[in-house]
């Protein structure tokens, strides 16, 4: 059984984290690989759906924040774990390529060498999008610290094409 975890970025000092909720995931067989998901079976974890990538079966799911996806039936070959959409507040993680051989999963590192995945667990970690708190205030010049009632301010990005995540612009205080 190969276990596919998606963790949030903030891991504790013990190296453990919690499952991330709401990440849209895909597991597929890259072109030229002899791997197959044809007989892959969900043992536990989020509900999966099937699609086709590179003319082979691929598996999609959304992480539930509770449990990893556990799959059995992965044949020997190369596989790619891809995050197709990250939850709000997180960046899409880099794809992970791993190899299954004789029932054991090994990760393929950036230099194409194999690194054994401990206990057949493949872990993807999402980085949080940094959030900066900014306080904007319109005050009377004559009376420092006194807010001007009824002032309308507009916040715009300094660079064309940038946008604000309105869910992150969460607090507006008035007098």
Number of Cβ within a 10 Å radius of residue 31:
10
Phi and psi angles of residue 106, each rounded to the nearest 5 degrees, phi first:
-130, 140
Q: Determine the pLDDT at residue 9.
A: 41
- Pseudo-torsion of CA 36, 42, 28, 77, nearest 10°? -40
pTM exceeding the 0.85 threshold for the entire prediction: no
Q: Determine the pLDDT at residue 47.
A: 92
Spatial distance between the Cα atoms of 111 and 109, rounded to a whole number of angstroms: 5
Q: Determine the pLDDT at residue 29.
A: 95
Spatial distance between the Cα atoms of 53 and 26, rounded to a whole number of angstroms: 10
- Average pLDDT along the chain, 175 residues, taken 10 residues at a time: 55 56 92 90 90 93 87 91 88 88 81 68 78 76 78 75 59 47
Q: Determine the pLDDT at residue 14.
A: 43
| Burial class of residue 70 in the structure, from the number of CB atoms within 10 Å of its CB (0-12 exposed, 13-18 middle, 19+ buried) | middle
Spatial distance between the Cα atoms of 117 and 123, rounded to a whole number of angstroms: 9
Q: Determine the pLDDT at residue 48.
A: 92
Q: Determine the pLDDT at residue 13.
A: 39
CA 97 remoteness from chain centre: 15
């Amino acid at each position: 059984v190969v276990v596919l975890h998606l963790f949030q970025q903030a891991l504790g000092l013990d190296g453990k984290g919690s499952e991330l909720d709401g990440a849209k995931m895909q597991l597929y067989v890259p072109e030229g690989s002899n791997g197959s998901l044809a007989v892959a079976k969900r043992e536990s974890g989020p509900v999966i759906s099937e699609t086709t990538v590179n003319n082979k079966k691929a598996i999609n799911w959304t992480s539930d924040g509770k449990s990893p996806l556990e799959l059995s039936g992965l044949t020997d070959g190369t596989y790619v774990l891809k995050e197709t959409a990250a939850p709000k507040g997180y960046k899409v993680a880099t794809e992970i390529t791993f190899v299954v051989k004789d029932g054991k999963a090994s990760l393929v590192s950036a230099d194409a060498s194999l690194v054994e995945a401990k206990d057949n667990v493949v872990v993807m970690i999402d980085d949080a999008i940094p959030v900066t708190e900014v306080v904007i205030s319109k005050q009377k010049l004559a009376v420092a610290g006194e807010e001007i009632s009824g002032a309308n301010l507009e916040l715009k990005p300094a660079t064309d094409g940038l946008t604000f995540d309105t869910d992150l612009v969460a607090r507006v205080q008035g007098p």
